[in-house]
Amino acid sequence: MKEQNIKTRAPLVIINWTNEEGARFFPLLGSYCVYAEQSILEDAHASISTDNSSLTMGGELAKIGYVGDGPNYFDEFPISGHFEIHVEQHTDLEKAGKPIGWVEGWQGMTWYNVVFHSDDGHVNTKPTYGRRDTLAASAKPINELENLAYEMNGYTTTTGIHLPPAKLAFSYANSLKSHPFGSCSIQSKTKVVFCLMHKEAEGLEATGEEIVKRINSIAGQRGLEYELARDIHLLPGNFWPEAITCVRDACGDKGIASRTGTGHDSTMITLKVPTPMVFVRAKDGISHSPKEWSDKDDCAEGALVLGKSVLNFDELLKQKVAGLHV
């Protein structure tokens, strides 16, 4: 844009948001939850490492000199719009033979964590009958989650299995954890973190209500105490129509409409300002894998669409300002 002497009404800012995925620190969607004023900076810095250690995101940022001095919130650093480019993570573009697309909205997502509690004991000497094994009990809701995905026409996910040393505290890591560590110990504390996803708000709420009922029933049948928390709750929604139009016009006949199945930076920023997304075609729809791949020509198309979309939106801003002065 600088080489072509393109000047926008508002300055352009490139942002690389920290901890979108929650891959190392949980909860996910960290930075832009703070920026969109859905969370606070201190909570983001307190995010616990997913390896169940005592490391925090704030502490690790400090180690490498990456703790800035702000601004951190929208009111401190307001923007006019937010445009994001991302691999599609699905096959709609590939099936349509299109390199790019405009994203109209997202499906709903809810993250829960449940911790079952009972008593310690020796697994080889205590009879199976009457044993309160929380790890064995945790298999039941994991099974029920898979059943619910089919029953409710949605998605459910329980992520990973990890057995930490007994001395480590239980974090909000996105996996299954149990205690105490040992080859002959009845597991008296087990944590399961899972996600529910649905394209419809009613379906998401109904799935959540149903799994809560089933967890309560499972705990009652096995005589377990439990704690249940809903960490993140994002209803399905749509991006701003005027912003979507900017991307659609930039795509032209090279793109099609799409929806995202997961959370992105934009699903929070859209609470504050017009926000659309640009999708780039992914081979076989694979993501979060070494096999994830987008052709370099598709990436180039995506970058061009991103730039054109921003310029379309900038022109929209100019027209609005002109209208105010008429």
Q: How confident is the model at residue 176 (pLDDT cuts 50, 70, 90)?
A: low
What's the pLDDT score for residue 86? 94
What's the pLDDT score for residue 52? 65
What's the pLDDT score for residue 233? 85
Mean pLDDT of 35-41: 86
Q: Which residue has the higher pLDDT, 109 or 98?
A: 98
Asked if residue 122 has pLDDT above 80, the reply is: yes
Residue 95 amino acid letter: K
Q: Which of 252, 275, 253, 250 is nearest to 264 (CA)?
A: 275
The pLDDT mean for the chain works out to 87
Residues 229-258 pLDDT 10s: 898 888 999 999 999 999 999 999 999 999
Give bridge partners of residue 158 from the DSSP assignment. Answer: 194
Delineate the domains of the chain, giving CATH numbers in brackets: 15-78 (no CATH), 84-107+236-326 (3.40.630.10), 108-233 (3.30.70.360)
Asked if residue 268 has pLDDT above 70, the reply is: yes
HEC profile for the chain? Answer: CCCCCCCCCCCCCCCCCCCCCCCCEECCCHHHHHHCCCCCHHHHHCCEECCCCCCEHHHHHHHCCCCCCCCCCCCCCCCCCCCEEEECCCCHHHHHCCCEEEEEEECEEEEEEEEEECCCCECCCCCCCCCCCHHHHHHHHHHHHHHHHHHCCCEEEECCEECCCCCCCCCCCCCEEEECCCCCECCCEEEEEEEEEECCHHHHHHHHHHHHHHHHHHHHHHCCEEEEEEEEEECCEECCHHHHHHHHHHHHHHEEEEEECCCCCHHHHCCCCCCCEEEECCHHHCCCCCCCCCCHHHHHHHHHHHHHHHHHHHHHHHHHHHHHHC
For the ranges 121-130, 176-185, 205-214, 227-236, the lowest mean pLDDT is seen at 176-185
Asked if residue 160 has pLDDT above 70, the reply is: no
Mean pLDDT of 137-149: 92
What's the pLDDT score for residue 165? 39
What's the pLDDT score for residue 175? 55
Q: Which residue has the higher pLDDT, 25 or 151?
A: 151
Residues 274-322 pLDDT 10s: 999 999 999 999 998 899 999 999 999 999 999 999 999 999 998 888 7
Q: How confident is the model at residue 69 (pLDDT cuts 50, 70, 90)?
A: confident
Asked if residue 169 has pLDDT above 70, the reply is: no
Report the percentage of the chain scoring pLDDT > 90.
53
Q: How confident is the model at residue 106 (pLDDT cuts 50, 70, 90)?
A: very high
Q: How confident is the model at residue 215 (pLDDT cuts 50, 70, 90)?
A: very high
